[in-house]
Each structure stands twice: as C-alpha cells, then as structure tokens.
C-alpha cells in the first residue's frame, strides 16, 4: 500500500504536460523533461473552485492519516520501512529522555549542564509541536522552559571579529553569559538568570467594526548569577517550533530555494538566503533551520540544541561544558558525563543518528476539510493578499535526498525557506549569520491548524506573543505589511474564511 501510494504521488509529477517552461537554472537531479513537469506542477494555482491534485497529502507519501488527537505530530513518516520505524522508536526514546547531572549511577544519561534550559528535547517541543510561553497573566506565570533568550552584543570595538568573518559564530556573544541565557544549573552552581516578561495590550481596528488586541512583550533579565551583563546586550526570545516535516524541508533542492530569491514577487518582496557554516564539513552552505535559518541541517540544529539548551556534548559540538564561558571558571571545572566505553562525547554519534532519524521523520498530518467551500474561499484570499510571496505553497523534493522516504515527493509546506525583514515590531536586534536583527525565516505552515490540538497552551510567532492565528498575521510588518493590511481591510466574513483555510493545513 505504501509503495503504491508513493508511485501514485510520483506519477502526479509526471502527469503534467511536458510543454511547461523550465525553471531558471534547473536542477541537477532531474532530466530536462522532469524539470519541465516539476516546474508545472509546483506553479501557483489560479483555480480555487476545487482542491488541487494530491493537495490533501501535503507531505507526499510521508503524510500520516492517523486519528487526529494530541499525538498526531508524533507519528513516523507513513512510507518508512520496518527497520526505519525501529530506529525512529529508539530516537523517540532519546528525544523524550530526561538527562541528569554527572556523576550519576545512570551513566548513559548523565552529563546535563552544567548550565541548561531544559532536561529533555520533549520538554521544549511539547508532543513534538510548539512550545509553551510562561503565560500572559502575571498571576498565572509558569516555569515553562520552551521560551529562551538568545544574547548578542554589537560588534563595536570588535567589528571585524575574526570568528564572525569566518562564520565560526553567528553573532558576537555577551562576554560573560555567552550566546544564550541558561536559567537552570546543576547543584553547586548558580543559574545565569531569570527571564521576566511584561505585556502591553495594543488594540488594532479591523474593517467591519471589529478590534483585535495584540500583546506586545518587553523582556528583561533578573537575578544575574555571574555579575553584570553588558548594558548594550541585545535579547532575542526564541520559542521552540514544531518538529514535523523537517526531513522534507532539508530535502528541498537548493536551486528551488534560491529561485525564490530572484522570483518576481508583488509588493517588492525580496527574500534572502542565509549562508552558514556546516560544522561537519566546514563548508559554507545554505541555512534552512531555526528561526533565522541559522542551521543547515536537522542534525546540526539538534546538536546545537544539545549543547546550548542542555549542556551536552556531541560529535559536532564536543565541548562537555556546553555554553559555559571562560568567565565562568567554576562552571568549566564541573564533571562531565562522557563515558569512554560509549565514546568521547556525552551524546555519542550513534545516539545522535537515532535522534536525527526521529527528528527528520516526524510526519505531517493529512489536510482536513480542504474541499470545504469556505476553506477554498480562504485559500483564494490567501493568494490574493499575496501571502504566497513568502509562504510558497509547494515543491517537489530532490531525487538525491539523504533518506529514501523523502525523495521526489510533492509537498506543500508554505514557506520559501528565506529570511525577510519583518519590521520594527518583530525586530530583536540579534543577527544570525547573514540574517539581520530585523529578519526572520518564513515558517512553514503545514500542521498549523492542529497546533492547539497537540498543545492547548501553544501560541504563535518566534516568541509566542500571538494567541491566535489572526494575531500572528496582524504582527506582520516590514516586507509583509502590505499583505497584513489587506487582511485588516477584509470583511469579517473574509477574515473568518482565511483563518478556516489556515486551520485546514
């Protein structure tokens, strides 16, 4: 059944007329004829009277059609082999595992910290979905760990810093506290500090007499554990994003992403690729992952999280002390959890392989209500508002993708994988490689309608400030402001249809 489904989806690409024009540049994994067909099938639709072919299978043959419940983001790719599913299950266990500080009797699970934000991957990515912010009501705040603070200082006297020029670091770290604030520490060490948030209600008038209320956050750091922080430190809040479909995003051919840079967009929209360093090869490659496209692969993104969020060493980032800085001498002297019989790192290569297999094969759910008249009307509005200038609907993945499950699949992630200026309100002042303090990667939208099914307390945008999908749209500024203004000018019924479309993804 799985093989038949894959064959049907592949046939959907080949079924398009070969007379379509080839995309500029082309792809090195396709024949000229296949290039023409792929270009045709991924062209934006102009017919909103019905569902497009294979649109409901928004992740190709990997799409899961399991029962919709709180575990829907935790399903494996539907076309995985039996052996692949076994590795996925092992990776799931590692993703959920709580790590402990060293030394410990559980030697395969120690090495946490010395400074950390969470004890497990799952603690931030709730049921493999979006993380949870501490809360909007000061009286109901929680110790949610999924929202963390990145730190950076202006180059200033360090302008032209050699590590910045060599792409060894994405931004200049704060000298004492590094690139990220760790709000927990192992016994015997103080935590770096505590994040505090204040929200200001901002009303936005909408056509039709409606008013939306946005929650504008202000962040500060209290209880600094290692002395003063530089007064000019920039703070960037980052909320853990959903994990589904990551392997497919990694399998989008680079030329298709770069074609989005030069594509003719309305509203003068121009996306930018973020070129970063591959920690495995040292090569300069296209960034695809994290909120500013600062990581090139799922493996490297996962290894960076082990290091920065949990203080665990991996083959890509072998420093046992994680994010401890030279100014934190006691932190550097704490014991680590590497066991010689397992390997030189606290998370050895084989365990990282299992985590990567798991993270790249979390399946995207099948679309719901895609043929509903109101959903189709909302899709038309999504196109007319020019949301598709950045949220590019579809791709056919590379024939040379790392994993066979991801090869040559027609997918619908709704992202251009580029970074864009999102305006003053969303700017954080923190650069990440070539992405500036005003730029963010276009997030994929698949699965967005099931966000609260998986985590009822989830919210949207890079710091979780948007409590609803409409609020997320209304925060768009910069390059996206014309599209945002068109949504403001829609009738209440039209806005409701637009949200219905997003909820069907």
- What are residue 493's phi and psi, to 5 degrees? -65, -40
CA distance 491 to 494: 5
pTM summary value:
0.93
Query: Which one, of 135, 153, 156, 154, lies nearest residue 144 by Cα?
Result: 135
Task: Give the whole-angstrom CA distance, residue 469 versus residue 484.
Answer: 12
Full pLDDT tens readout for the chain, 505 residues: 343 334 444 444 443 333 333 344 579 999 999 999 999 999 999 999 999 999 999 999 999 999 999 999 999 999 999 999 999 999 999 999 999 999 988 878 899 999 999 999 999 999 999 999 999 988 788 877 899 999 999 876 555 555 555 455 667 899 999 999 999 999 999 999 999 999 999 999 999 999 999 999 999 999 999 999 999 999 999 999 999 999 999 999 999 999 999 888 899 999 999 999 999 999 999 999 999 999 999 999 999 999 999 999 999 999 999 999 999 999 999 999 999 888 999 999 999 999 999 999 999 999 999 999 999 999 999 999 999 999 999 999 999 999 999 999 999 999 999 999 999 999 999 999 899 999 999 999 999 999 999 999 999 999 999 999 999 999 999 999 999 999 999 999 999 999 999 999 9
Give the Cα separation of 125 and 131 in Å (integer).
5
Which helix or strand (DSSP H or E) is residue 498 part of? Answer: helix 492-504
DSSP per residue, 250-298:
HTS-HHHHHHHHHS--GGG---B--EEE-TTT--EEE--BTTTT-BSSH
Query: Could you tell me which of 420, 370, 387 has the C-alpha nearest to residue 490?
Result: 387
| Separation between Cα atoms, residue 459 and residue 214, nearest integer Å | 12
């Amino acid at each position: 059944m799985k093989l038949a489904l894959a064959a049907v989806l592949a046939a959907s690409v080949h079924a398009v007329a070969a007379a379509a024009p080839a995309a500029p540049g082309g792809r090195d994994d396709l024949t000229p004829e296949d290039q023409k067909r792929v270009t045709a099938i991924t062209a934006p639709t102009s017919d909103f009277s019905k569902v497009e072919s294979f649109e409901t299978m928004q992740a190709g043959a990997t799409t899961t059609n399991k029962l919709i419940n709180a575990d829907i983001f935790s399903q494996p790719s539907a076309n995985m082999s039996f052996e692949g599913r076994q590795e996925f299950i092992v990776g799931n266990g590692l993703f959920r595992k709580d790590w402990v500080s060293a030394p410990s009797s559980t030697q395969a699970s120690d090495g946490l910290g010395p400074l950390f934000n969470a004890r497990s991957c799952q603690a931030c990515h709730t049921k493999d979905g979006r993380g949870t912010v501490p809360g909007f009501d000061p009286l109901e705040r929680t110790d949610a760990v999924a929202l963390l603070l990145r730190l950076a200082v202006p180059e200033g006297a360090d302008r032209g810093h050699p590590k910045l020029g060599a792409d060894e670091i994405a931004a200049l770290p704060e000298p004492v506290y590094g690139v990220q604030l760790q709000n927990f520490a192992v016994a015997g060490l103080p935590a770096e500090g505590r994040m505090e948030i204040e929200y200001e209600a901002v009303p936005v008038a909408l056509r039709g007499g409606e008013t939306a209320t946005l929650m504008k956050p202000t962040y500060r750091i209290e209880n600094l554990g290692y002395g003063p922080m530089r007064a000019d430190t920039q703070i960037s809040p980052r909320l853990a994003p959903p994990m589904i479909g990551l392997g497919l995003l990694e399998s989008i051919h680079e030329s298709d992403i770069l074609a989005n840079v030069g594509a003719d967009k309305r509203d003068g929209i121009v996306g930018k690729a973020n070129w970063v360093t591959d920690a495995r090869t040292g090569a300069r490659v296209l960034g695809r992952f994290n909120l500013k496209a600062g990581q090139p692969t799922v493996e490297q993104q996962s290894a960076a999280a082990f290091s920065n969020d949990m203080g665990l060493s991996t083959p890509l980032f072998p420093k046992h002390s994680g994010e401890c800085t030279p100014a934190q001498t006691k932190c550097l002297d704490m014991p680590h959890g590497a066991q010689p019989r397992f390997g030189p790192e606290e998370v050895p290569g084989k365990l990282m392989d299992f985590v990567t297999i798991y993270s790249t094969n979390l399946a995207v759910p099948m679309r719901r209500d895609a043929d509903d008249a109101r959903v189709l009307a909302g899709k038309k509005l999504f196109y007319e508002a020019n949301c598709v200038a950045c949220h590019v609907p579809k791709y056919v993945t590379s024939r040379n993708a790392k994993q066979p499950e991801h090869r040559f699949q027609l997918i619908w992630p709704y992202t251009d994988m580029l970074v864009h200026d999102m305006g003053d309100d969303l700017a954080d002042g923190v650069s990440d490689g070539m992405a500036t303090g005003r730029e963010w990667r276009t997030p994929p939208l698949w699965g967005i309608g099931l966000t609260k099914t998986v985590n009822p307390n989830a919210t949207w945008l890079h710091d979780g400030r948007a409590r609803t999908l409409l609020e997320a749209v209304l925060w768009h500024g910069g390059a996206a402001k014309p599209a945002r203004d068109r949504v403001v000018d829609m009738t209440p019924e039209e806005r409701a249809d637009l949200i219905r479309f997003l909820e069907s993804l």
